[in-house]
Amino acid sequence: MITKEAKNIKNAQFHRVYFNSARAAFLSLLNAVCTDCKDTILMPAYIGQSVKEGSGVFDPVRTLRIPYQFYNLQENLQVDMEDFIKKIQNPHIRAVFLIHYFGFPQENIVSIKKICQQKGILLIEDCAHSLYSCLNGRPIGQFGDFALFSIHKFLPSKAGGFLLLNNKISVETSLPIALEDLTIFANASQRDVMAKRCQNYKYYLDHYNKYSSLYRPMLPALPAGVVPLNFPIFITGLPREKVYFELQKKKIITVALWYKLIDEIPQSVYPHLYNLSNHILNLPVHQDISLQEITQILQALNDLEGQVCH
């Protein structure tokens, strides 16, 4: 029968499963794809944890006791392809976990996907920092077999995340998203959120003190299609904690992603990533921040210049 209007609710839709968090989505996904006790997940060597929240990335791996291995990253958190190709030779690798840090896509994802396909390995994209980012016009999350997204990191919801299934499998949703959080996501103006975050990031780049001995931007360009989670800086002139608390005294709240790496990542093997973890500070670029407030943040950093030992 030729109908007058569309009837198939599964046609022309993304296959998304909504959870109360990306962490819960990852746990359900791992339960579905890592079914053999030897199934190993290959993960990046920059994963953090906190005293209050644990590790959203690694706790599901711990909970299910899944074997794991780490691959190296460059100092800008792009995949070290030479090390990646070496590590993926492990015949027990079932899945590769790829993080798009701070909204910036992994530039070699097409090559990584091709390698995974050739070896029959699943590719999981962690897009918790990259809800709206694209690479060469293609949305992040559409490259891998599966993709994890976080809603509350970009929008003022209490929680919420979802799993994008490009490779159709069945997953359990024991921790579904709250209707309030889903409504916030549905009502958000994607265009306005993207535009404001990009405007704020570019403002930081245009107005930071280029001759500062206190800090430097970690990612000093905003490529087309990137919608940033925040503005990461590398603190050089003072202890990062001192800068963090001095800003807090001025009612400027920042975060350090991640100030502590999980214990499973050996410092002796990845000293450059531990060094980054000890010095990184992430400044806000979210849609509630005004350009005037960013100016105040930059001025507060400039005020700390006098405390730097030259």
DSSP state of 217: E
Q: How many helices (H) and strands (E) does the chain have?
A: 9, 12
* Residue 22 · residue 161 · CB < 8 Å: yes
Own/partner pairs, 144-149, CB within 8 angstroms, 24+ separation = 144/98, 144/109, 144/113, 146/29, 146/33, 146/122, 148/22, 148/25, 148/26, 148/29, 148/124, 149/22
* pLDDT tens sequence for the chain (310 residues): 877 787 777 776 668 999 999 999 999 999 999 989 999 999 999 999 998 889 999 999 999 999 999 999 999 999 999 999 999 999 999 999 999 999 999 999 999 999 999 999 999 999 999 999 999 999 999 999 999 999 999 999 999 999 999 988 889 888 899 999 999 999 999 999 999 999 999 999 999 999 899 999 999 999 999 999 999 999 998 999 999 999 999 999 999 999 999 999 999 999 999 999 999 999 999 999 999 999 999 999 999 987 875 5
CATH topology classification for 190-307 = Aspartate Aminotransferase, domain 1 (3.90.1150)
Domain range summary for the chain, segments of one domain joined by +: 16-187, 190-307
Of the candidates 218, 230, 225, which has an alpha carbon nearest to the alpha carbon of residue 154? Answer: 230
Tell me the C-alpha to C-alpha distance, in Å, between residue 23 and each of 11, 178, 244: 28, 15, 27
Q: Which fold has domain 16-187?
A: Aspartate Aminotransferase; domain 2 (3.40.640)
The region, left, alpha or beta by phi > 0 then psi within -120 to 50, assigned to residue 36 is beta
